[in-house]
Structure 1
């Protein structure tokens, strides 16, 4: 009888441990957990015009008094990619959105849904901050997470005047970033182009990802007239029609457009480009399945 009781006790302990571990894994990777709702801060306030003036739109272009966007479809030998050439009169038209307007764990929404909810003219997926438990998260001037991530990759900072800088989290704090005028950060990477030069090797890849993938990247072109000029590229991949780009190939394309800084955002099934109410690319989640993946955040252009 004592032997049976010991076995039962051991089984109960084992089941409790399995249950606790299962719950921990579910909490990290599956169960949604809201931490805070998105709030408007003073750093989001801008004197930029909210009047569009005359709007001219086609399937591949948008232009008003403050925003100009032109979309082109291009192809390498085996990959289709889409380039958005964006000019803004004020940096406040470049914004970020959080899924379900909420910061937290495993809270997701499609890029197109976030874009629609925010009346975005143009949108792409962001860095999918929710896939990680650490790494700086600053969105629209609000600090949501201040724990540093252990990565060799730099983060991207977008400042209130619209310019880009890359940085290492171990070299600064979120408060220092806010004090210097940072309104958005992205913790994915790597940096593709820095000071106009390709910043990665031909063999570099994110983690254990395949060499060719759907990709999303954002870059900035230095201007002399005070306007803000951005290049955004999204590539299709993982299909027989479009294999995808390597990081180096994305860097080469970005450099060909004359960007001074370019940064790699979340890719794979997350890569999505939205424009004028339509998804422009072909997001690929599993094999040849063309469908849009729900993500934790997006970048968009709008009022």
Structure 2
């Protein structure tokens, strides 16, 4: 026992401790320590037209919690008609159907809005950066959302374009595959862009309002763009999924599926794409899935997250939501 404290062993122990500390720091820095980022460039004037005066925000730095609260001060209209699975007012209409297919429960939201200003995104804690996370429910509630889904979990990666509300936060393309991202323009139209062949600054200049990067594209120009062998990274063939598609101007479909439970096997990307195609979507895009997949409506989680408990959600970086 005493021999381990002799000089040769002391250096080995010291070296091991230093290496352990370094590894711990790297892991903490990557997955735990919050790091606030700042915008790279603001939107062009034409893109800003999608905002109302009450939604204007400073783009000189990260959006703060206080700014987020002020921006979302408006409440649900008094004339809104709300049921357990639907919402309707003069500007927003949502109907959620529960479908059983592929030995899996799917939650399909049919959404129509009168203006693109009601289709929004939000950061966890109102702030862009790494390891800044909240549950979809918490973000939805803090932004007075009517309906929300998890976004692309941009903070889990150091690549992938990030444009939110016309503000460019990250211009690093996905280095693998096609680098397919989804753009939402100021008119609310969805389109697929190739990050390796695009520049995020140019997208902002051309009127991009939101760009989310996860993928892949499921449907493009009315055609299914995945096959039975397509998958996200090393994920399993069947998973909980979150995806969004567009049928026509200001008319969208959102699908969230359960999975990884005894009640629901989950969907393949091809099965997910087929669901959008069957509903007439010309464009559809896969967002972060697995344990992140969450659909929130009218104060409640609609689906069953991958851990099997509806009250427990994975904390993520961002959401896509509907609200005022």
Q: So what's the TM-score if we normalise by structure 1?
A: 0.90
Partner in structure 1 of residue 198 of structure 2: 172
Q: Distance in 2 between matches of 1:220 and 1:48?
A: 27
In structure 2, distance between residues paired with 1:105 and 1:73: 34
Say yes or no: does 1:262 pair with 2:296: no
Partner of 2:51: 45
Counterparts of residues 187-226 of structure 1 (less than 5 Å)? 187-223=213-249
Task: Tell me, in whole angstroms, the C-alpha distance in 1 between the residues paired with 2:17 and 2:151.
Answer: 39
Structure 1: gaps spanning 5 or more residues: none
Q: 1:48 to 1:98 in 2, by over 3 A?
A: closer
| Structure-2 separation of matches of 1:119 and 1:110 | 14
Please, what TM-score do these two structures have when normalized by structure 2?
0.85
Alignment of 1:53-202 (within 5 A): 54-152=79-177, 153-202=179-228
User: Please, which moves more after superposition, 266-275 or 133-142?
Assistant: 133-142
| CA-atom RMSD in angstroms | 2.4
Q: Distance in 2 between matches of 1:48 and 1:247?
A: 39
The structure carrying a bigger strand percent of its residues is 1
Structure 2: stretches of 5+ with no match in the other structure: 56-73
Sort the Cα spacing of 1:48 and 1:90 in 2 relative to 1 into closer, same or farther, 3 A: farther
> For 1:107, what is the secondary structure of its paired residue?
coil
TM-superposed deviation, 1:6: 4.7
- Note if contact 1:48-1:90 (Cα within 8 Å) is conserved in structure 2: no
- CA offset at residue 18 of structure 1? 2.9
Corresponding residue to 2:313 among 278, 288, 292: 292
CA offset at residue 186 of structure 1?
1.0
Contact 2:240–2:293 (8 Å) recurs in 1: yes
| Residue 31 (str. 1) matches residue 33 (str. 2) | yes
In the TM superposition, residue 46 of structure 1 has moved relative to its aligned partner by 3.2
Matched, 1:301 2:322: yes
Alpha-carbon distance, 1:293 to partner: 1.1
How do 1:207-286 residues align onto structure 2 when only pairs under 5 Å count? 207-223=233-249, 228-285=250-307
